[in-house]
Structures are given as C-alpha cells and as structure tokens.
Structure 1
Amino acid sequence: MTGARGEAAAGRFLCADAARARVDPLAGTAPYGSVWILVEYRGGWPSNGFDGLDLHPEVKARVFSAAQRLRARILLVRRHGRTPAGRPRRWAVLRYASGGDQRQHWGTWERDEELSGIVDALEAPGEPGGPPVVLVCAHGTHDTCCALRGRPVGRALSERWPDAVWECSHVGGDRFAANVVVLPDGVYYGNLDAEASVRVVGEHLADRVHADHLRGYTDLFPPQQAALAAVLRHAGPAGRHAYDVVTTLRDDGGWWVRVAARPTGAPSYDVRVRSHRTAPHRLTCRGESASSAVVYEAVTLRTAGTGPDGLP
C-alpha cells in the first residue's frame, strides 16, 4: 500500500486524515492578505521556507523587510517535475485590491542580488490583469500531508494547466491538504484530491466559485468568509466578484454580515455567524502538542432586511 493510506496504515499520524475524520470546517480558514511574493527555488525547501534559504544576508534582509512593510507573504515556488536546464528562475509580486483590481510584476534571477528587484516591484503598482496563478502547497519538509496530498494534486493540475500551476511552500492550514490558492484572486481551497482539484480549479477559471472545498477569500476576515461561503452554498456557485460584504456588525453573540449581490437587484443576504473553539487536537503532522482551533459557523441566512434584528 502506498501514498497517504499506506502511511496511515503504518501507524503514522497524518493531520489531514485526522481533520477529515473530525470533519473540520473549511469556511473561514483562509489567512488574510492581498500581496504575495513568489520566488522560484528548485532545490530543497527548508521547513521555514524563504527564511531558511542560503541567500546573501543583505539581499534576504531587504526583501524580508520590504515584505513586512506591506504584510506580503513570501512563498517559494517550483514547477512540478523537472525544469529544463538553462531556464532562468522567476520571481513575482502579485496584488489584489478591493473591487477586483489585480496586478502582477514578474522578473527573473540567477544571482542573489537580482532578487532586489522584488523590493522595487513592491514599490510599483505592477501591470494590470495577467493570467491566473494556481499554487499547490507541496511543502513536505514543513508538513508530511502537504507532500502526500499536494504532489498528486500538483501533477494533475500541471498536466491540465502547465503554464499556470506551481507547487509552493507553506500556505497555512496543513490539515486541509491538499491546499490550492488561486492568485491574484486570493481564493483558498482545501481538502482536495487530484480529481476534485481539476474540477474546482476549472470552475474557478470559468468564474464559478463553489462553496465545496472553499476555505475563503483572503481580502475578507474569517466571519465574512464563513458568511460568503454560506451564501454560495445556499444560492449556488457565483463569480469571484459576484458578491460584496458591505456590512459587518459584531455583538456578544457573534456577527451579522450583509452579503450584497452584484449587480444590484439580485438577492442580498444577512448571515448570522458565530464562533467557538474546538477541543484540543493535533493540528499538524509535525506538532505533537494538542491545540484548539477557532471555528466560524453560519447559523442563520435570510434575505437582507427581512428580520426584525437585521442589518440596517
């Protein structure tokens, strides 16, 4: 027996298997962010990703400092399989802004010093549009499940969209492997296998986001992500920009989130979201201590303005 099932049969703890057995909710688990830095690195990835690379210290410090100022996330990337010799390594700065404005800036590097171009790119607006970038977390030195579940997904997606797909380092939520992130859209999907990933990414690229496998949009906060996922589950798949979160009110019981449709005239929804902490569990393959996670749950969904305590 091979693969994830073989590992599990051998008695090894696998966080993604455990999370699926517990039916850990996906909605509301995408980390917040709107700027990403991709650095192609074809050698072995350290467990801590970019921080652990043996690069010129001054260059690495400059890139890291510039990324911190914008709260940008730095991810190592590589193509699935072998890359032809002589092809220059690439880097990218990808941005998402409210309203759907997307920007990309790509460059190449051979010497460490050439990564300083990332710093300049972070200070420039970048080019509008550009083809989507599909990332598959396959960071096995960070978490076993990311490799066991991520590599087959990376292979399947690369066979279908070879120019769009990259394997990447840790994106968060190891227990939801295989994780896929579509940029600059900033959309996280989880609990994917090879077959499901081709279907989910194909639908996304056709501008149909489904609630199944959706972890969230990275320009929204967790209760907003959970509310939007509930709307998609109720109303059916929709485009990445088919809805806006227009109001979020916090009270002692949780949040009321209004999700408004584009264009106006289509149904909008008020969603009640509550949160709670789970019992402690092992949440990653590498971490042996138990931790609790915060779960965001949509408990009420109604057409906007139809309830006495609805949003104004």
Structure 2
Amino acid sequence: MRKVRLTFMSTCTSASSSLAEPVAATAATARTWLLLEQPGPWGPKALTGSHLDPRVGRALERAADRTGVRVGLIRRPGRHADRHDVRRRTAYVAHTVPGGTWVREAVVEDPGALLGLDFEALGRGDHRGFGMPYEGDPLALVCTNGKRDRCCALKGRPLAAELAASGLGEVWEVTHLGGHRFSPTMLVLPYGYAYGRVDAGLAHQVLAAAREGDMVLEGCRGRSAWERPGQAAELAVRRLTGELRADALTVDGEHGTRVRHLDGRAWDVEVMAVAAEPPRPESCGAALGAPLRMEISGIQPALLTNSVV
C-alpha cells in the first residue's frame, strides 16, 4: 500500500481523499427518516444541543431507538438567526425500503406531538396517516453541522446554498449523516441514497436522476435502508449489471447479502469487513483509527427454486 503522510493540520476530508478511501457502503442506516425543522445554531448532538427543548430531543432519541427510524434536525440553507420563537415547523417522515418508498409532510407547532407517533410502525413502513403525501421535488439533505465536524460546515454549507439557488430540488441542511471525512455529504429522499465528496455538478446529476426514479453510482455511499454489507452488495450488483433504477434491487434480509432484481434474477455477494490502513482520522481532531470498509470478495448468480421471471 502506498504511504501517505498525514500532517497535524490535515482535515479528516483531506486525509480521506489523500488515501483514496472508498465512499461505498458507508451510509448511515435507517429504514425511515424523521426530520424536524429547527432553525438556529446546532450543537455537536443537535437533538439535545439546539433551541429544541432538550427533553423532547432526548425523548425522540429514545422513541426511535432500535425501530429503524433515524431522527434529524433540518433548516433552510443560508444565515441562521439565533431564534427561540419558532411557531410552525416543517416535519418529514420518509420510508426508504424499495417497493414501499414514501415521504409524508406536516407542519407542527409543538415538536413534542411527534412523540405520539408509532415509531415501530414507521420503521416497518406504516405511516399511520401522518401528515400528507409529499409530492414535490426530491429532498436534498446536506450535512452542515460544523459543531460536530468543521468539514461539514466548510464544505457542506456552500453546497447547500448553491443547490438552493439552483431550484433543482427541495434543499435543506441536516444535522448529521455520518462520514464527516466524506464531506460534503448528501442524502436524497425518497430513495434514501447517500452520497459523499459531492460537488454541485454531481448533486445536480443525482437530483435529476431521482426525479426520474433513478440513482447515480458515482459518489454513492449506499442506500440507508440496508446495513453496510447490504449496501456494498447492492452497489456491487449495480456496477455489474448497470442497473440504475432506484427501486429495481432489494437486499434479502434472510440471506444477508443476496440481492434480488424485480425481474426475478438474484445474486449472492460475498462481503468482507476489512480494517482500513493506514490509520486515519474519522473526524477532525479525533485520534487516528482504522474504520471498517466493506470489500467484495465474490459475486455470482443465486440458485433459486420456484422463481418467477
């Protein structure tokens, strides 16, 4: 492996780029996303470190735990007034599992009312009538929380502002998508594909594809509906077949890394978790570490019985 010198002043993004670290299979895992508008400053742990009542933030975290739901705060790109008097907030719930993707939208006056949601049902893809169907452009969520990692602000905020000015999608800043070292990072809903090292050109391409029900392989970190081995397996099959329709492939939960196509084909994908070398910072200011990366060691057509093509 080639040697790369990581200086004290290196940012996590520059170190990752210098090492040519793959972005594939690094997406945060969530079958369903619950996103609540919260203007103003965000702390490192925004649900309990913003102008949102921290009691509500902690309760939302507890309610979502182990349900497949991930909670995040969002705000419009641009300057963020230090406001405490927010009366009406946009909230989205989005389910990302192929064949059952949807986005619902509501305006809430009391964030505590979200604690009345059935989080287990949301994780399964049952919205229980929350809000109304969202029928706008794809949602583009760009991580900009500089209190969590400076790269997210330095790289994410300019991207969010440029996308918002372009009018190509419904653009929001979001508190955390994981993978600071891949900033700028972006999540696109309804399909739940995450992207890393995103520039404006790639972002426009991704949003245009999402409008047509497609995804883009370049810069794709994976679909949040799957655990990381499943993300790796799906992306490997897409590279093998050239399939770009977002909902054409599913990952079989029983088989772990069996990828199924809508037309009846299937592939078994061997995925290995390997510690990245040499060590690198996963966040600015963090100690050097060896994050796991997913490597494909084999892929072959699955032997199916009673399959319908």
Write the distance in 2 (CA, Å) between the matches of 1:147 and 1:35.
Answer: 25
Question: Which of 93, 115, 124 is residue 119 of structure 1 equivalent to?
Answer: 115
- 1:39-78 map, 5 Å: 39-68=36-65, 70-78=67-75
2:233 pairs, out of 227, 233, 237, with 227
Moved over 6 A (4+): 83-87
* Letter of the 1:96 counterpart: T
Q: Which residue of 1 aligns with 2:195?
A: 189
Q: Write the letter of the residue equivalent to 2:244.
A: A
Give the CA deviation at 1:122.
Answer: 4.2
Aligned to 1:238: 244
- Structure 1 window deviating more from structure 2 (22-31 vs 241-250): it is 241-250
1:95 alignment counterpart: 95
Corresponding residue of 1:37:
34
> Separation in 1 of the partners of 2:169 and 2:77?
11
SS of residue in 2 equivalent to 1:70: coil
Work out whether residues 27 and 223 of structure 2, in 8 Å CA contact, stay in contact via their aligned partners in 1.
Answer: yes
Deviation at residue 188 of structure 1 after TM alignment:
0.9
Is the 8 Å Cα contact of residues 96 and 102 (structure 1) preserved in structure 2?
yes
Provide the C-alpha distance between the structure 2 equivalents of 1:222 and 1:249, rounded to a whole number of angstroms. 14
Answer with 152-161 or 55-64: which moved more.
Answer: 55-64
Matched residue SS, 2:230: helix
Relative to structure 1, is the Cα distance of residues 83 and 295 closer, same or farther in structure 2, using a 3 angstrom cutoff?
closer
Q: Is the 8 A contact 1:93 1:121 kept in 2?
A: no
Code of the aligned partner of 1:50: L
Give distance in 2, aligned partners of 1:64 and 1:191.
Answer: 28
Alignment match, 2:297: 299
User: Please, what TM-score do these two structures have when normalized by structure 1?
Assistant: 0.80
* 8 A contact 2:48–2:54 mirrored in 1: no
Q: Which amino acid aligns with 1:274?
A: M
Q: 1:147: how far off?
A: 1.4
1:152 aligns with 2:158: yes
**1:309 match:** none
Q: How much does 1:80 deviate?
A: 1.3
Give 2:272's aligned residue: 274
2:211 maps to a residue whose letter is L
Structure 2 gap ranges (5+): 1-6, 120-126, 305-309
Following the alignment from structure 1 to structure 2, what is the Cα–Cα distance between the partners of residues 301 and 263? 18
Tell me the alpha carbon deviations over residues 79-110 of structure 1, each in whole angstroms, 9 at most, x when there is no partner: 1125899994323333334532424142233x
- Paired residues of 2:146 and 2:153 also in contact (CA < 8 A): yes
Q: Is the partner of 1:204 in helix, strand or coil?
A: helix
Q: Go from structure 1 to structure 2 and tell me whether the alpha carbon gap of 1:34 and 1:138 turns closer, same or farther (over 3 Å shift).
A: same
- Per the TM alignment, residue 249 of structure 1 is displaced from its structure 2 partner at its CA by 4.8
- Would the alpha carbon gap of residues 159 and 271 (structure 1) be closer, same or farther in structure 2, given more than 3 Å must change? same
Deviation, structure 1 residue 19 = 0.6
Q: CA RMSD in A?
A: 2.9
CA distance in 2, matches of 1:73, 1:271: 27
Residue 310 of structure 1: aligned partner: none
Equivalent residue letter for 2:220: L
Distance 1:73 1:94 in 2: 10
Letter in 2 for 1:198: H
Q: CA deviation at 1:18?
A: 1.0
Which of 21, 32, 35 in structure 2 is aligned with 1:24?
Answer: 21
Contact 2:252 2:258 in 1 (8 A): yes
Q: Is the 1:80–1:158 Cα contact (8 Å) retained in structure 2?
A: yes
TM-score normalised to structure 2 length = 0.81
Cα–Cα, structure 1 residues 196 and 122, in superposed 2: closer, same or farther, change >3 Å? same
Letter in 2 for 1:30: A
1:116-146 per-residue CA deviation (whole Å, 9 max, x = no partner) reads 2212344652345643321001111111111
Q: CA deviation at 1:166?
A: 0.3
Aligned residue type for 1:284: S
- How far apart in 1 are the matches of 2:54 and 2:206? 40
| Secondary structure at the counterpart of residue 289 of structure 2 | coil
CA gap 1:163/1:210 in 2 versus in 1, 3 angstroms: closer
SS at match of 2:280: coil
